[in-house]
Structure 1
């Protein structure tokens, strides 16, 4: 009995406001302040770019509703990893985990950290491009600060998320209002012949969606920390609908505002579109947009860390990662070893990091696994209809999102094959080489056990149980 009372579990401290903030705060990050110029240059016309932004929001909403059903059906933290484990099995779950830890989460974190750094240093290098070394040092500092915060306190990390979400929503509201004022003043010339020059190739549409969906990425953030959400059966679907509706509306209005203030050519040539907008509309107060964009990216990076650490934690608990990563701090109840590990990998990926290629490879890999997760939901709906479902979506919704996911994976390859996508695919499947000896046959050296004991004492951590 005494042993039972000593069990550690992560606390349920995330209520509905925190839940909405984690989703909206993870989604509104660097994307809306960086991606519009890349998306417009890829698709070629303002009208088509707005359609891509709207469709991205619809895909994120439908995907979010599917994940809300999965989160209430399988009420464990870990997101895609735990859903793939329960439906497709251990090997596929490990391939997801391998890709998530080495490609997806570090790519997401470094992409956001790089754009955070761009906005932080932009005011100090007016009119010229800041040195890459300075940008990467600031990005590394941002990653380190948030790693410390997330290790120290769940409550502090949640507070940062809520505050940064308020700041970024206010910043986007300011951009929206500025655009509406300009529209009423008759600045509609950039919308004349708005579909002229549209690139209708499958590759162009696919890459444009990658840029759009990079900005919407984070719609499934809450599924990574289900065990820390209060009343997930109610708050999970409610938070998803509120957050994604809010973000989609803001993104469309913000893009209209960008195109009202800037010509498509100015938009495509801008390196920090929100700062360019601020300089044109706010004049001497343009720096406000730089600060808001930096805070926005900082909050998004915080959400990325909060959820990413949970995947390592859950995977270690299932035996797919070293035991030390399934432990929580004995006083603070944060999964600090998993957070330290994800920080280290992100800092390594940051060294050669390039924003544009990071977005494309992240999106390709992410949608490959979203397709597998959605197939798992269809399997559970068809083969196991008797399972208790506090929340359920019509079967047509996961089918539509699955079709979109397959298109997003195949589109860039079919129309314009690039060897890099083959490398990414081979990398995903190379996880089998690690799985067979180390996971299936458990060839863990005795040294690892000694290291685990040492780290357990050094980091003051102990194994944590599931919080169902």
Structure 2
């Protein structure tokens, strides 16, 4: 018996040594169901429970509000279709990063990676952590605004997500499916409860499909789209993990289409329910719409709504963590960041160095950040790169015109997407220029300060080698095999 155990251990050690020599790859654990769950779970977070107030504040109209939600969903679907074509053409993890590299060059790709790593993913995780904390502290009695308990809860949430994603890719995928189910139940309760409310004849809030208070300002409508699109963010989640998809040529476009179609329908129905129950004034007066809705429709049972909001946000944060670190992983493999950040655990087959680095930045953002400022920070950084990535699709239609495309969308559709996102990026700057826009621009452009010496001229003199060896020994990570010409 003892000899059998020793032989088994020796066999495992030989296999592990063989993996180390050959390099360790991320496993393909994501199928159509889990892929669709990642899309739905990443999109549906705190947004649908927060931003309806912002959209309605700008439109002041039931009809225009629902049109904005439908339009934002259509734009997100167009974006997901464009990204599906890119993902099937360039089957690499990292989403925008490899597409920008091939379409617009390594400098633009690096600036995206820099922005994604330094602003977008950490701020997104910090927003979700703070949203969970704000709903959790409502169960306790505090004097004033409990900033320190909220930030401690947010930090623990981020650390929990990091642990899950470090432990196992399959576990992270299972967590996503689990919490996606809960958030769908939450939205299902809101939708069914709203239609029961309507079925009882309480439709007076819906009769004013337009109103005299309707905003006629084009800029106000664009700001309404700005809020709605933040709620839809996450539609490109699967493109960050293309290398971990089973049969990506089929599952990537299908999961994107199914996921975004489902989210758009759910968002429109949820907004109808909010409006039917609370009315325009009720929504504008509430900072926690789902909680207020639950108190009015469910009575004492409405206490379940903040719990569902927390579950929904946790699932969204898990999707952000899972997908966001893959940009850093992809950029490090291209030697645009320290190579050790592209290493994979030889035991867990997860990109632990990427996760640790991203988690650290997210925790730092909690120190001085709040939800509203972090949302602005994220949105201002994200929208321009979504447009640039779609520009890459148009460029690649000419520079890679002979390449086989498993999916090819009608060209005017991505062009429409580009025009809309450029408009949405420029309009708030013209409407209300603030220092936040300047700060975001400076941080994005500061990436060039890093790019020129360390990436373009490779001025490092081997200074990262001792650090790399130390990290390898500490957390047992090894290089991942990579073919830069594999598209």
**TM-score, with structure 2 as normaliser:** 0.92
**1:413 paired residue number:** 429
- 1:432 aligns to 2:462 (yes or no): no
Matching residue of 2:150: 135
1:228 and 2:241 matched? no
Q: Distance in 1 between matches of 2:19 and 2:309?
A: 48
Count of residue pairs the alignment pairs up: 467
Q: 1:335: how far off? A: 0.2
Question: Structure 1 449/174 Cα, relative in aligned 2: closer, same or farther at 3 Å?
Answer: same
Match runs of 1:247-396 below 5 Å:
247-396=263-412
Question: Is the 1:207–1:360 Cα contact (8 Å) retained in structure 2?
Answer: no
Q: Is the 8 A contact 1:203 1:413 kept in 2?
A: no
CA RMSD of aligned residues (A): 1.8
Tell me if structure 2 keeps the 8 A contact 1:211–1:359: no
Matches within 5 A, 1:157-176: 157-176=172-191
Q: Structure 1 stretch 182-191 or stretch 285-294: which is displaced more?
A: 182-191
Deviation at 1:52, TM superposition (A): 1.1
The corresponding residue for 2:12 is none
Shift, 1:46, TM fit? 2.8
Contact 1:203–1:416 under 8 Å retained in 2: no
What is the alpha-carbon distance in structure 1 between the residues aligned to residue 466 and residue 156 of structure 2? Answer: 32
Q: Which residue of 2 aligns with 1:57?
A: 73
Partner of 2:208: 193
Equivalent in the alignment of 1:103: 119
Does the aligned pair in 1 maintain the 2:126–2:154 contact within 8 Å?
A: yes
Residue aligning to 1:459 = 475
Where 2:55 maps in the other structure, the secondary structure is helix
1:178 aligned to which of 166, 182, 193: 193
Q: Structure 1 339/348 Cα, relative in aligned 2: closer, same or farther at 3 Å?
A: same
2:60 maps to which of 41, 44, 48: 44
Distance 1:44 1:352, change over 3 A: farther
Change (3 A) 1:178 1:2: closer
Looking at structure 1, the residues matched to 18 and 476 of structure 2 have their Cα atoms a distance apart, in angstroms, of 20
TM-score calculated relative to the size of structure 1: 0.96
Change (3 A) 1:158 1:379: same
Over 3 Å counting, the alpha-carbon distance change for 1:45 and 1:299 in structure 2 is: same
Q: Distance in 1 between matches of 2:59 and 2:376?
A: 15
State the Cα deviation string for residues 116-167 of structure 1 (Å, max 9, x = none): 22222223259x8641222211111100001011000111111110010011
Larger radius of gyration: 2
Matched, 1:442 2:458: yes
Aligned positions of 1:83-102 closer than 5 A: 83-102=99-118
- Give the CA deviation at 1:170: 1.1
CA–CA distance in structure 1, aligned partners of residues 150 and 298 of structure 2: 25
SS at match of 1:286: helix
- Give the superposition deviation at 1:16: 0.6
Partner of 2:420: 404
Compare 458-467 and 139-148 and name the one that shifted more. Answer: 458-467
Residue pair 1:202, 1:415 contacting (<8 A) in 2 also: no
How far did residue 295 of structure 1 move?
Answer: 0.5
Determine the structure 2 residue equivalent to 1:114.
130
Q: Which runs of 5+ in 1 are unaligned?
A: none
